[in-house]
Amino acid sequence: IDFFPENFYFNVDHGYLEGLVQGCKAGLLTQQDYINLVQCETLEDVKIHLQTTDYGNFLDNQTNPLTVSKTDTEMRKKLCREFEYFRNHSLEPLSTVFTYMTYMIDNVILLMNGALQKKSVKEILVKCHPLGRFTEMEAANIAETPSDLFNAVQVETPLAPFFQDCMSENTLDELNIELLRSKLHEPYLEAVYEFCKNHGDVTAEIMCPILEFEADRRAFIITLNSFLYPEGLRLLAQAEDSDQMRRAADHDGVYKPLFGAVGGGSGGKTLEDVFCEREVHMNVLAFNRQFHYGVFYAYTKLKEQEMRNSVWIAACISQRHRTNINYTILNHIPY
Amino acid sequence: MAAPDLRAEVDSLLLQLLQDLEELEAKRAALNSRVEEGWFSLSKARYAMGAKSVGPLQYASRMEPQVCVYISEAQDGLQKFWLVRPSAQTPEEVGPREAALRRRKGLTGTPEPESFPALQDPLNWFGILVPHSLRQAQASFREGLQLAADMASLQIRIDWGRSQLRGLQEKLKQLEPESA
């Protein structure tokens, strides 16, 4: 039990939501649920099994035939409803945490790419992540070029502070827009980190390591993916091959065992798998403490992981690759 | 033509036919594998990038083919399928000494040497840094494409072989109406 006086006041503003999120967390799919899902032979079976979980009848209104894409869409809708419920009922400073958890950066990048390719804004808005909508998105209608959009976003949105250190340049082509995405995430993650740190208390204890890990994970994955795309991306990665990257990681007590766990060959774990497991582990641990905001972040991340797992299983089942399912998923589960 | 020579020809045709059939079956199995692998790699890519990030929403509004199919016709009427990049304008590069060259799938019908824009890798529709699984998917589908062209050529050769065989067997019958 955390014995700080602040905790006694936590419940006044946030007690209801904390209780709610603990309840939601208890409804996450368990190992047994996944075992049942993996044994399904068709997507209809998957739907039936999911009816016994917190997902309930979420697929009932779908027309035949059931597809993996529809399953993913409906799961995402459910997550968004829950998230919006939490967000709408939250008070500061929890509300700010929810704002930080959204996907506004990804949506802005999508809009910029769309402007670059001269696609209609309607087309792009469909692709945007529902958890990243902000009112000024509609203003994208009048932006003709990525630069216009860039200026509009800078002036009017909650993202404005993050753009300051980034490129102010007019050469916004595909490569630069992708670089912009990575560059935006840095100050964004730092802002969230500072917010949590300044809040102090258990929130800082839980959230700061999680955010640090997230930043490192992004850097590793980007570096890894960029080895196959060397031109232009040395800006992001100092390491020039995976050995160098591994050597850099060896110096760190946290990352050395992670890299050590990466298996060789097609049956082994990939680096992403290993990072995934650690992220899930850290998120689960957040629920062992009370009176902090980390549980909301952790729940959302665990739910998203659950969605990824379920959609992966569904895809394997629909492609009749059931034997291949087991190899990573069962490690990416909270229980 | 003497019957023994005809028989010998029938034999060799039959052997060739059976060989082609075997090759066709092998290629068909390989194509099925490649396609399965491709879809599986796509699922892995969706796991890494998000299911909505790898799908029809990412298609470019203007798509240009990376590969075109040319059909070449030999003197004996046998057709063969070739996969080429659209920028290969000159037919001579494509196939050896063909009588006629016909373009089946391509950008436009006009053969004038317009400067095509640099071929866009469709992988870029999904982002600049894509996971390895997406590249693997592309590689699998590309291999499958080559297999499909080979299979089409083989099937034409098999049909041609069968009709040749029938013709020869007719001739044999006429020469030796009493033979079993």
ipTM: 0.81
Chain B residues touching residue A117 (CB < 8 angstroms): 60-61
CA pair distance A331, A31, nearest whole angstrom:
9
Kindly state whether residue A38 falls inside one of the protein's structural domains: yes
Roughly what angle, to the nearest 10 degrees, separates helices A68-88 and A43-51?
A: 30
Whether residue A59 lies within 8 A of chain B, CB to CB, comes out as: no
Q: Which residues of B touch A324 (CB under 8 A)?
A: 40
**Is A175 in Cβ contact with B51 (below 8 Å)?**
no
Q: Is residue A328 part of a domain?
A: no
Closest approach of chain A CAs to the CA of B54, in angstroms? 11
- Interatomic CA distance for residues B170 and B162, integer angstroms: 12
pLDDT class of A250 with cuts at 50, 70, 90: low
pLDDT at B76 over 90: no
- Rounded (10°) angle between helices A6-26 and A294-318: 10
Tokens representing residue A334 in the block: 């909270």
Higher pLDDT: A198 or A230? It is A198
Question: Cβ–Cβ of A311/B46 closer than 8 Å?
Answer: yes
Q: Is the pLDDT of residue B95 over 60?
A: no
Number of domains comprising chain B: 1
pLDDT at A327 over 70: no
Q: Identify the domain containing residue B137 by its residue range.
A: 1-176
Residues of B whose CB is below 8 A from A233? 128-129
The whole-angstrom distance between A312's CA and the closest CA on chain B is: 6
Is the pLDDT at A233 greater than 80, yes or no? no
Alpha-carbon gap: A272 to the closest alpha carbon of chain B (Å): 8
State the nearest Cα–Cα gap between A201 and chain B, in angstroms.
Answer: 33
E strand or H helix at B105, and its extent?
strand B100-105
* Structure-token pair, residue B56: 């029809």
User: What pLDDT is stored for residue B98 in this prediction?
Assistant: 36
pLDDT tops 70 at residue A102: yes
Is pLDDT larger for residue A321 or for residue B140? B140
d(CA A20, CA A22): 5
pLDDT of B112: 40
What pTM value is reported for the model? 0.81
Report whether A46 contacts A37 (CB < 8 A).
yes
Counting other chains too, the contacts that A273-280 makes at CB distance below 8 Å and 24 or more residues apart are: A273/A328, A273/A331, A273/A332, A275/A217, A275/A220, A275/A221, A276/A305, A276/A328, A276/A331, A276/A332, A277/A331, A277/A332, A278/A213, A279/A210, A279/A213, A279/A214, A279/A217, A279/A305, A280/A305, A280/A332, A280/A333, A280/A334
Per-residue pLDDT for A326 more than 70? no
Percentage, residues of chain B above pLDDT 70? 79
A120 versus A172: which is more confidently predicted?
A120
At residue A234, does pLDDT exceed 50?
no
A161 lies in which domain range? Answer: 6-319
For residues A189-206, give the mean pLDDT.
90
Nearest chain A CA: its distance from B65 CA (Å): 18
Determine the pLDDT at residue B61.
Answer: 75
Comparing CB atoms, the residue among B40, B51, B132 nearest residue A324 is B40
- Residue A285: both structure tokens together: 């641990």
Mean pLDDT is highest, among A122-126, A185-189, A196-200, for A196-200
The whole-number pLDDT of residue B102 equals 41
Mean pLDDT of the A75-88 span: 93
Per-residue 3-state assignment (H helix, E strand, C coil) for chain A: CCCCCHHHHHHHHHHHHHHHHHHHHHCCCCHHHHHHHHCCCCHHHHHHHHHCCCCCCCCCCCCCCCCHHHHHHHHHHHHHHHHHHHHHCCCCCHHHHHHHCCCHHHHHHHHHHHHHCCCCHHHHHHHCCHHHCCHHHHHHHHCCCHHHHHHHHHHHCCCHHHHCCCCCCCCCCHHHHHHHHHHHHHHHHHHHHHHHHHHCHHHHHHHHHHHHHHHHHHHHHHHHHHCCCCCCCCCCCCCCCHHHHHHHHHCCCCHHHHHHCCCCCCCCCCHHHHHHHHHHHHHHHHHHCCCCCHHHHHHHHHHHHHHHHHHHHHHHHHCCCHHHCHHHHCCCCCC
The chain B residue lying nearest A223, using CA atoms, is B129
CA closest to A308 among chain B residues: B47
Q: Which of A56-60, A260-264, B146-150 shows the lowest mean pLDDT across its residues? A: A260-264
* pLDDT of A294: 93
Tell me whether A311 touches chain B (CB under 8 Å): yes
Contact status of A308 with chain B (Cβ, < 8 Å): yes
A9 inside 8 A of chain B by CB? no
State whether B57 and A126 contact (CB < 8 Å).
yes
Q: What is the mean pLDDT of residues A259-266?
A: 60
Query: Token pair of A223, please?
Result: 């570096």
**Is 50 exceeded by the pLDDT of residue A196?**
yes
Would you say B145 and B82 are in contact if contact means Cβ atoms under 8 Å apart?
no
Answer with the residue of higher pLDDT: B95 or A69.
A69
Q: Is B46–A315 a contact, with Cβ atoms under 8 angstroms apart?
A: yes
Q: Is the pLDDT of residue B177 over 70?
A: yes
- Let me know if residue A55 belongs to a domain: yes
Q: Which residues in chain B are contacts of A312 at CB distance < 8 A?
A: 43, 46-47
Choose from B40, B41, B43 for mutation: most chain A CBs within 10 A. B43
Interface test with B, best of A308, A323, A331, A332 (most B CBs within 10 A): A308
| Total domains in the fold of chain A | 1
Q: Which residues contact A74 (CB under 8 A, 6 or more apart)?
A: A58, A59, A62
Contacts of B132 in chain A (CB under 8 A): 225, 228
Distance CA(A61)–CA(B84), nearest Å, equals 47
Q: At residue B79, does pLDDT exceed 70?
A: yes
The confidence band for B30, taking pLDDT boundaries of 50, 70 and 90, is very high
